[in-house]
Structure 1
């Protein structure tokens, strides 16, 4: 029996997808080829929120077959008219796939490919959008109508979690057209003994003692991540409770970094590349993601794989799937800032090691192999 051939359309190599592509490529009976549409991002990506050009320092193009399709857009970027690839459909047709899996529809070439292949071969889709930021308005009604049209060209979608499943159902897809394929990261990399040892050494170099509880944030410092509010509320708490054991470590750069609170219990580190991230999580005792909007929040997966509790808000898409208040994490209240003082006190009193061990076991099932299994079953 010939191998099943799966074509994947994606914008550019990213650290969260490359391990999945390798797993699929190594699966017996499956031939995989990834077609990248942002040809200008082969070596690096200009990141607006980080305010710099980023060259990832871990391998993202090894272990699977791929092709960069020339992007002829006058303004190449990750937006609808920023990816124009006349060669995409011919390249996929010449490869003769049994199905095509599209990562993200809101790019000109991706949407054209969905429309072209619909009715010819199965068109599958993967995204992580939610309804969490949706407001009742005429614009929402119009957008929902447009999205129902878009998803009418999708035969099957792989949802990453409960909020994403509700999104697909709201835009016309039926339960029979949906399969669970959990969002995942490279769990082994973040939970390795090497990462733990290097993190502890780095923690010591930063001057933290064993008695201090380090809350770590790693990411872009801009309005979505809400670190201005978090840092200021923590600074207020620490000022009122000078004997508290909590410390805040903020790693990253962005347009709002000058607005972060200043306090003796707050330390800063600049942007760190991907090879350093497992160590970063192992500096801290708990990882924070106080975002006002987050379709998923893979930082939470990474923290759990490192055996760390997490702080999230109810606007973080993965919270409903992965975080239970007090049992494996804590909630930062966006609506009631005063209640966050109680949260800081709860963190001080909690057995964070027990919570972290629980998280490491939970996240084992949220793996790239689990995503691959779901895709292969459909294939």
Structure 2
């Protein structure tokens, strides 16, 4: 791969991290040949553990690796702080955030909202249902069980609440058992095609990302592009950078179903708040359109070529 890349004579090669090892070997080979290389990183200090002797060694080693690169392309401010702290230096930085094609998500969500009543009727759900959406892998890290526990609390107080839980995974049996007593209020379509995602956002009133350890969470970007308020856990990196500053949703303590239920109830009871969050979400979604990443790549190329 290194030989093939060198034949192309690119101005800059951006490598997504230094793991797996093939990425590290590629970076070393290209650097040895004089090829400018950039590091794309989504690691954060909050989501990384450097404890004990091995942790300190690993931290030193990662800092040395980061210094190999000519440019940095962090996904956000937390990733930039990680690079600065571990490397002990700085590099020209051109952010490469997780981004989506905002117009595509917005268009698909709008079309789905126009057909929302038909969807509710097909499920046998009330016309005034408050629909909570989760799109998560059914794994301990993404923690669908906290969302289910919170929704059960919400449903007891508000029988018109409904849950769409998209995904699947190794916690399948635990999820099914947790849903058994109120499965009539839940729709689980399994894994869905990426092309259908805007429709699920458009059918919903709020999106929840419950992960306990997620450095970013690109589904937050998708929901915001669809003008959907977001409730995300403190374990989701995007909560700190997109939701909290912009006022387009709510952050709750990770693995706390009571706090999540309270946040959902607040949105259920306050349609005007949902509308305000939705307007703010659309603005944030537009600011993180994929086109901005293209602009950053062009700026990085200009720097490499002209300094």
How many residues in Structure 1 have an aligned counterpart in Structure 2?
290
Per-residue displacement from partner, 1:29-72 (whole Å, max 9, x unpaired)?
xxxxxxxxxxxxxxxxxxxxxxxxxxxxxxxxxxxxxxxxxxxx
Match of 1:17 in 2: none
CA distance 1:326–1:227, change in 2 (3 Å):
farther
Deviates more, 1:189-198 or 1:146-155: 189-198
Where 1:324 maps in the other structure, the secondary structure is helix
RMSD: 2.2
CA distance 1:326–1:363, change in 2 (3 Å):
closer
**Distance of 1:194 and 1:234 partners within structure 2:** 26
Judge conservation of contact 2:246–2:284 (CA < 8 Å) in 1. no
Judge conservation of contact 1:286–1:308 (CA < 8 Å) in 2. yes
Per-residue displacement from partner, 1:162-215 (whole Å, max 9, x unpaired)?
211111112216444322232201212211044544566434422333421100
Gaps of 5+ in 2: 302-307
Match of 1:74 in 2: none
**Distance of 1:191 and 1:257 partners within structure 2:** 31
**Distance of 1:304 and 1:338 partners within structure 2:** 24
Judge conservation of contact 1:323–1:329 (CA < 8 Å) in 2. yes
Judge conservation of contact 1:99–1:124 (CA < 8 Å) in 2. yes
What displacement does 1:143 show?
1.8
**Distance of 2:242 and 2:161 partners within structure 1:** 24
Judge conservation of contact 1:103–1:127 (CA < 8 Å) in 2. yes
Gaps of 5+ in 1: 1-87
Match of 2:43 in 1: 129
**Distance of 2:161 and 2:135 partners within structure 1:** 17
Match of 1:106 in 2: 19
**Distance of 2:117 and 2:59 partners within structure 1:** 48
What displacement does 1:295 show?
1.4
What displacement does 1:331 show?
2.1
**Distance of 2:261 and 2:20 partners within structure 1:** 43
Per-residue displacement from partner, 1:87-124 (whole Å, max 9, x unpaired)?
x0111111121221112221233212211222612111
State the structure with bigger RCO (CA 8 A, min sep 6), 1 or 2: 2
Where 1:356 maps in the other structure, the secondary structure is helix
Match of 2:224 in 1: 304
**Distance of 1:207 and 1:335 partners within structure 2:** 31
Point out 4+ residue stretches in structure 1 off by more than 6 angstroms. Answer: none
Normalised by the length of structure 2, the TM-score is 0.86
The structure 2 residue matched to 1:278, chosen from 198, 214, 218, is 198
**Distance of 1:106 and 1:92 partners within structure 2:** 19
Query: Within the alignment, does 1:256 sit opposite 2:171 as a pair?
Result: yes
**Distance of 1:191 and 1:131 partners within structure 2:** 33
**Distance of 1:272 and 1:229 partners within structure 2:** 22
Match of 2:241 in 1: 321
Judge conservation of contact 2:15–2:39 (CA < 8 Å) in 1. yes
Where 1:303 maps in the other structure, the secondary structure is helix
Judge conservation of contact 1:200–1:282 (CA < 8 Å) in 2. no
**Distance of 2:122 and 2:57 partners within structure 1:** 54
The structure 1 residue matched to 2:125, chosen from 208, 214, 222, is 208
CA distance 1:199–1:301, change in 2 (3 Å):
farther
Deviates more, 1:280-289 or 1:322-331: 322-331
1:60-79 correspondence to structure 2 within 5 Å: none
